[in-house]
Every structure is written in structure tokens, then in C-alpha cells.
Amino acid sequence: MRDEVDAHRAAGRRVALVPTMGALHDGHLALVRRAREVADVVVVSIFVNPLQFGAGEDLDRYPRTLEADLAALGAHGVELVFAPSPDEMYPEGAVETRVTAGRIGELYEGASRPGHFDGMLTVVAKLFNIVRPDHAVFGQKDAQQVFLVRRMVRELDVPLAIEVVPTVREPDGLAMSSRNRYLEGDQRRAALLLSESLAAAEAVGAEGLDEVLAEAAAAFGDHDGVELDYLVVVDPETFLPVGEEARGEALVLVAARVGSTRLIDNAVISLG
């Protein structure tokens, strides 16, 4: 992979990387389209990273659709696909050297999935070193991931630009996710509570933090089969919770379990 990328770079072409775990949907393809806009050559990685799955999570059943993924990427003119096995990515087995996500990595998703962000940053750092892109493209749906990757790039002086693409949604508002294919019937309808709670938060943003949290939580009601994990309003610059006096742009994060499927979403709102 590195030799192929280096050949493109030697020819003066700029390279963009789109890191994925496969099971591609239109949200991923929006990242590919953005990569095409900022670079001459697009590399898509497909790797279900075991380091970012904890005990009891869905590593074994995470959807793997490589043949369909390759067809979709081919239709979008992707030049290079990097789809290594775990043994190729981690040839020595257990990884002793890891990137640490720090305090923010222990909040929200990190609190519910201990070690997740350390594993994510470690594999992203490896991908950056393998591909050495000029740009890397991520989706806003994984807002905490984006914040941590941007911070890693800044603090470790990684020579690339991070591009962020707005969340791509289904026509009914559900944020696109590879895990959506786990949802059936009533669960699929119940999953809309996440985007509905964000819409409720946005509608009352001018009334302040307390009203935002109250309305967003009320959207979930007592719905059977949906368990709210967290609902928080954070400062996009620090990713720490805002106080009651906060005004201006803020980010609402929500996570919930619908049946056995865990979903996340977020939205930018204006407070006060």
C-alpha cells in the first residue's frame, strides 16, 4: 500500500484517506466524495479494529460486506482500497504501544466503552503512518472521535488536514450507521427517538441549557425497548459539558440502546 501511494505522490498527486470499518452506506460514500474534492487519489481503508471493541460488544457480529463494499467504491472511482486482516495490522498480536485519548476519551462514549478511543486513535495513527495521506476524511456523526483525531493530529504534529463531512441521514432523520442494519420493525421506528430528541433540543436552544436538556430527554418518554445512555451538551472547542450560563454554539450528544443495538447521534445548536 505504501509503495502504491508513494508512486502517486511522486507523480505530484495529493492523497486522501477515508478510514472505515466497512459495511459501507451512503454516509461513507459522502466521505469518499469529499475526499475526491480535496485530493487526486482516494484511499479507503476497511478494517474492523478489535482494539476499539470491549468485552461483550459486537466485534464478532459487526457486519462485514467486503464484496459489496468494493463494488460501491469501484463505482465511485476509488483508486486504492486497504483491507488488511487483524494479523496484518497487528503482526505481533497484543499491542503494547497505544495512543491514549486522555480525559475526553473517558467521557460519554468513553465512559460507556472503556478503552474504545485509545483503540480508535491507535489504529488511526497506524493508518496515517501506512498511507501518509495529505487529507483524512471523517463523518460528523462520530463527533467525539472527530474531536480526538483532530487533537491527536494537532498535538503530535501529524502532517495532514482533517476534513469533516456533515452527518448523512435517512429520509426520516435517522443518522446513517452500519449498525442500523441490526434494526427491524419497531426497533427501526424507535431509533428515530435519537434524532427527534436532537430536534427538540434545537427548537428550544434560545431558552437555555436546562430547557434543552429537559426537552431532549422528554422526547424519549418511557418508550419500551429504548434505554438512554447519555444526553449532554458540550462546548465544541473543549468537548466538556457547558454550564447554565453558556451562550452561542454548542453540541448536543446523545446515545441510546435500541434493543441490543447501541446508536449515537449529535447536532449543533445555538444556546441563549
- Residues 130 and 183: their CA atoms lie apart, in Å, by 35
In the set 28, 76, 116, 223, the catalytic residue is 28
Distance CA 138, CA 149 (A): 9
Q: 3-class SS at 269? A: strand
Residue 25 bears catalytic tag: no
The closest of 144, 103, 167, 97 to 125, measured between CA atoms, is: 97
3-state SS class at 147: helix
Kind plus residue range of the DSSP H or E element containing 41? strand 41-46
Residues recorded for the chain = 272
Grid coordinates representing 237 are 472547542
Pick from 214, 210, 61, 82: nearest CA to 136: 82
For residues 115 and 54, the answer to whether their CB atoms sit within 8 Å is yes
Beta strands 15-20; 135-139: pairing state: parallel
Report CA-CA distances (Å) from 129 to 5, 45, 134, 136, 159.
Answer: 12, 13, 11, 12, 10
Catalytic residue numbers, as ranges: 28
